[in-house]
Amino acid sequence: MLSKEKESVGEQEGKKKVTEVKTFPIPFALEEIKENITLNTKTKSQLPKEQIINQAFKFHSQGNISKATKYYQICIKQGFNNPQVFSNFGILLKEIDQLKEAEKMIKQAIKLKPDYAIAYNNLGNILIDLGRLKEAEIYTKKAIDLKPDYANAYNTLGNILKELDNLKDAEICFSKAISLEPDHESAIINRGQLYFDKGEFKKALKDSDLCNTKQSRAFSLEILYSLGSINEIYNRIEKTYAFDDKNLRLAAFSSFISERENKYTHHNFCPKPLKFLHFNNLKNQLNNYEEFIKGLLKELSEIKTVWEPPKKTTHNGFQTPSYINLFSESSIKISKLKAIICNELDSYYLKFKRESCSYIKKWPSHKKLLGWHVILKKQGYQEAHIHPAGWLSGVIYLKVVPSLGKDEGGIEFSLNGPNYSNINSPQLIHQPEVGDMVFFPSSLHHRTIPFSTDTDRIVVAFDLMPN
């Protein structure tokens, strides 16, 4: 499917829908990646060249990162000078946060094919994540020079210019992408967000309504709130609640507007998420919890982390890359922690089982956990966010920092979101102790308050995934 030179695997960076070939965000299987991905150019194979390349593309398209990596490495070891191999492998490496290696692969693709517009655009996206925006601008403009009708590149350039605070030209680029491909959802949403940030709410709403996706339907409600169109908000939720019941961004906003207006919406995922906070401590589960935490920290120290991973909320800290699920690890302490969490989930459900919201009534039938850990340094924090792919989220505190009377290092829960807020919205700040376990609905906004003490704050976080 990908052997023809059209769009590479990485073109999901540019848009949601592609008419030339099918594209896909990598659908990581939770139990599939069990260890760090390492680059190994000693791998050998007796397969024919074309079959090896097709195997790499096939496994990449399926989200099988380990096998895709193996076959891309074979291609490189055997000297296959196929620019699409290098470009696609670069995108795979980008997806697993190996950005420096990704940059090398894309540049090799360009060296092999200097007029490879797709590779220039992919390189632009990698350089965005590396924070090298001016370089990203140069390479993306090169992609446009090579392919003037390249909508994805105009969308990428729009994102770069927006980050550089050149909003006028960013809008021009997003509009150009849309004129080239009127169904380019990413460019439409990007332009809508730009309009929103500029306070041009009617234009933002028009763009958002063009898409009709889970993301855009929630975004439209947020825009309507800025326009003061409360009745329209309730009307829209009534029309879509049946098929948006698991749309957690919409659920978060619905909770906010219900509280602000003192009037329930038809959305019933979890109307009162602060009511579903749950607290316990490892010392109530283990006799030697301090030794357990010490051993757990040792195991975690051997697992790869990434400094301020792109498109995440972690600032001034390290986080497990997205392709690693902690709970796929077979190490003793991590496996024990998983068992403790699963037992606590049973207690959680029993505590709230009489509640009538979908969050409880449609409780996941299997305990499928996705876990990661975060190490925040001095002045580190996490922005307010939700976990839209989860059901229930949780944090286990392994190392904490002193609050200094200012809630430093605490976790704050709130109904306010990035695009909407009310000074009277309820919030709760929890100052954690070592061993604390905090469970909450994945639709509840939460953030870490920055801290000034020169020490580490270390947590394991997880999502209980929906069915």
For residue 344, the number of C-alpha atoms closer than 13 Å in the C-beta half-sphere is 28
Q: Cα separations (Å) of 321 from 93, 96, 269, 370, 380?
A: 11, 6, 29, 12, 18
CA–CA distance, 124 with 160 (Å, rounded to integer): 9
What mean pLDDT value characterizes the chain? 89
CA gyration radius for the chain?
23
Q: For the chain, give percent helix, strand, coil, nearest 5.
A: 50, 15, 40
* Mean pLDDT score, 7-12: 47
Pairing between β-strand 411-414 and β-strand 314-319 as defined by DSSP bridges:
unpaired
| pLDDT recorded at residue 46 | 61
* Mean pLDDT score, 98-111: 94
CA proximity to 164, closest of 200, 119, 128, 204: 128
* Mean pLDDT score, 417-444: 96
**Structure token pair of residue 225:** 């709130």
Proportion of the chain above pLDDT 90, given as a percent: 81
CB atoms within 10 A of CB 375: 21
Q: Confirm if 247 and 214 have CB atoms less than 8 A apart.
A: yes
Output the furthest CA–CA distance in the chain (Å, rounded): 68
Burial 84-110 (b: 16+ CB within 10 A, else e): bbbbbbbbbbbbbbbbebbbbbbbbbb
Answer with the residue of higher pLDDT: 247 or 50. Answer: 247
* Mean pLDDT score, 351-368: 96
| pLDDT recorded at residue 41 | 46
CA–CA distance, 299 with 322 (Å, rounded to integer): 18
* Mean pLDDT score, 313-336: 91
| pLDDT recorded at residue 45 | 53
Give the model's confidence band at 196: pLDDT under 50 very low, under 70 low, under 90 confident, else very high.
very high
**Which residue is it, tokens 């398209």?**
61
Proportion of the chain above pLDDT 70, given as a percent: 90
| pLDDT recorded at residue 64 | 87
CA proximity to 84, closest of 47, 37, 117: 117
pTM of the model: 0.84
* Mean pLDDT score, 369-393: 96
| pLDDT recorded at residue 206 | 97
| pLDDT recorded at residue 330 | 76
When mean pLDDT is compared across 54-68, 129-143, 215-229, 284-298, the lowest value belongs to 54-68
For residue 53, the number of C-alpha atoms closer than 13 Å in the C-beta half-sphere is 19
**Structure token pair of residue 111:** 């060296």
**Structure token pair of residue 339:** 């068992």
Q: Cα separations (Å) of 451 from 310, 352, 377, 380?
A: 22, 33, 8, 7
Q: Cα separations (Å) of 324 from 352, 366, 396?
A: 31, 20, 18
Residue 459's φ and ψ, nearest 5 degrees, are -135, 155
Residue 466's φ and ψ, nearest 5 degrees, are -70, 165
Residue 314 has pLDDT above 90, yes or no: yes
**Structure token pair of residue 279:** 């607290």
Answer with the residue of higher pLDDT: 32 or 110. Answer: 110
Give the model's confidence band at 270: pLDDT under 50 very low, under 70 low, under 90 confident, else very high.
very high
Residue 6 has pLDDT above 80, yes or no: no
Q: What is the pLDDT of residues 15-42, one digit of tens each?
A: 433 222 222 333 333 233 334 444 454 5
| pLDDT recorded at residue 19 | 26
CA–CA distance, 462 with 341 (Å, rounded to integer): 9
**Structure token pair of residue 166:** 């050149």
CA proximity to 24, closest of 14, 35, 37, 32: 14
Number of residues written out for the chain: 467
| pLDDT recorded at residue 102 | 95
| pLDDT recorded at residue 30 | 28
Answer with the residue of higher pLDDT: 26 or 435. Answer: 435
Which residue segments constitute the domains of the chain, with CATH numbers given? Answer: 9-201 (1.25.40.10), 274-464 (2.60.120.620)
